[in-house]
Chain A
Amino acid sequence: MSPVLITFYFLAAFTLATAFLTIYSKNPIHSAIYLVLCMVSIMGHYLLLNAQFVAIVQLIVYAGAIMVLMLFTIMLMNLNKEDEVHKPRITRLGAIVVFILMSIVLITIFINSKTIMGEYDSSGEDFQSIKVLGKVLLNEYMVPFEFASILLLVAMIGTVLLTKKEKDQK
């Protein structure tokens, strides 16, 4: 086995283990910490694929920002067993159905996906560099990129609107 393969197996085991522990731990803070570890190990997967930029962005956005805020919220909310919302059986059934549908989508994507690494390798371009990534994003994928930014902007405005007090309530 090559060192890369061994690293991959180790990382994959780590990712799966932390993901399962995220679901199974009783304490919400422990769950969140396992999720942080899971996110960091996904960064390792990106590094194995030679995608430095995506790896670092994964670290900054998920481990550094989103999970910090999530831990922050959990610490503030003080979740106890007694306060847990009672879940009726139908929601559990719904969750299972959603999970199965999601798995079908993921598996079909996995089967239909083509490895395009070879093509990029033969083109001789340093496809992991930020310059190439930026050019591809703003030329080939200009429209989806702009749509994604509008989506984020709308979400941001929505949050600000939610936190604003209504004037007549003062």
Chain B
Amino acid sequence: MDSAFIIEKSVFIVAIFAITMVMAMYSTWAERKVAAFLQDRVGPNRAGWGGLLQPLADGMKLFAKEEFFPNTPNRFLFIVGPAIAMSTALMTSAVMPWGDKLEIFGRTVILQATDIDVALLYVFGIISVGVYGIMIGGWASNNKFSLMSSVRAASQMVSYEIAMGLSIIALLMMTGTLSLKEIAAQQAGMNWNVFYQPVGFLIFLICAFAETNRTPFDLAECESELIGGYHTEYSSMKMGFYLFAEYANMFISSAILAVLYFGAYNYPGMQWMVDNVGVNAANILGIVVLFIKICFFIFFYMWVRWTIPRFRYDQLMHLGWKILIPLAIVNIMVTGICILVFK
């Protein structure tokens, strides 16, 4: 392992961290702007041009606020809750392929922090652990509403993970690999997986909404029933971490959606670009294309949030267990038959 490799990876990891943070920060701004647009308002427009400094002001406000501790015997777990939520939100980005490769000073730089064999399962593992942030924080708050919220979050996560996993199995049967890098490379040209797996994509999308706790599935922080759910008792930056983790999760799950189903960094004519303009130019354009796709999905999340009202809890469970899981199993069977017939 040479030092250039270590420097390359360190720079890359720091860059991903910074980008995730900036994207999460500006997602809060975008959320307000989209909400304002959909409700025919103006939205934040005081701090900076078009309200662009608003996230910074919000961050300053959260840092400067009083740290309030509820009367709980578990102060340590109360602090651990938001920490878990934030760190798991940041960990998934390690296996994302942000682009194909760049050639810098004669070295081929692969635009991925690490390419492990089981990248997709790693993402699932981290997502499934992420719920502990909400559960532990909600329980340690020593508040009945928070406890209700953590119980809801746990059952919702476990229910929707099944359908999510099943929808991925159909995709894996086609790609034959768990490595996100290879899945991305297989979709070169317009060979996007969404054209072969439309049902799988739909199931995955719905489950992604549930896993990130976004409306219409934000039952864990349902303010009309549970005040603020798991973050009722939180204040200052601990509360900020929960909110931030939600937006970071949204960014990462948009990236997963783009990589798995929407061709990752591939765009039509990429091969032509590589042959005629150069590897670096083609791949930098690839990164830009990936980020455009990610931004579209983030916008989609917000669009849905301000369009569809929240589900009732029994409706949520009904959708998860009685509609999505059977649909995902049928999808696996149909995929299997198609693979058998056409290949």
Give the B-binding residues of A (Cβ under 8 A). Answer: 29, 33, 36, 40, 52-53, 56-57, 59-60, 63-65, 68-69, 71-72, 75-76, 128-130
Chain B residue contacts of A68, Cβ below 8 A: 128, 131-132, 135, 154, 157-158
Question: Could you tell me the distance between the alpha carbons of A122 and B5 in the complex, rounded to whole angstroms?
Answer: 29
Taking the closest CB of chain B, its distance from the CB of A42, in whole angstroms, is 13
Inter-chain contacts of B128 with A (CB < 8 A): 59-60, 63-65, 68
Residue in A36, A65, A130 whose CB lies within 8 Å of B158? A65
Contact assessment for B121 and A60 in the assembled complex, using a CB-CB cutoff below 8 Å:
yes
**What chain A residues lie within 8 Å of B178 (beta carbons)?**
130
Q: Is the CB of B129 within 8 A of A65?
A: no
Q: Indicate whether B239 reaches chain A with its CB closer than 8 angstroms.
A: no
Bound together, the chains give a CA A38 to CA B125 distance in angstroms of 16
B147: Cβ under 8 A from any A Cβ? yes
Across the interface, which residues of A come within 8 angstroms of B151, CB to CB? 72, 75-76
- Please, how many residues of chain B have a CB less than 8 angstroms from a CB on the other chain? 26
Task: Check if B306 is an interface residue, CB within 8 A of chain A.
Answer: no
* Contact present for B135 and A71 (CB under 8 Å): yes
- Evaluate whether A72 and B121 lie within 8 angstroms (CB atoms) in the complex, with A29-B139, A33-B136, A59-B129 already known: no
Binding site for A on B (CB under 8 A): 77, 116-118, 121-122, 124-129, 131-132, 135-136, 139, 147, 150-151, 154-155, 157-158, 161, 178
A162 to chain B, nearest CB (A): 16
Find out whether the CB atom of B129 lies under 8 angstroms from the CB atom of A129.
no
Question: A53-B117, A75-B139 in contact; A33/B125 too (CB < 8 A)?
Answer: no
Q: How far is the CA of A65 from the CA of B125 in the complex (A)?
A: 10
6 further A-B contacts with Cβ under 8 Å, apart from A68-B154, A75-B139, A130-B117, are A59-B126, A64-B129, A68-B157, A68-B158, A71-B135, A129-B117
| Pairwise interchain contact B135-A56, C-beta atoms closer than 8 A | no
Give Cα A40 to B158, complex, Å: 18
What are 20 A-B pairs at a CB distance below 8 A? A33-B77, A33-B136, A52-B116, A52-B117, A56-B122, A57-B121, A59-B125, A60-B124, A63-B125, A64-B127, A64-B129, A64-B161, A68-B128, A68-B131, A68-B158, A71-B132, A72-B151, A75-B154, A129-B117, A130-B117
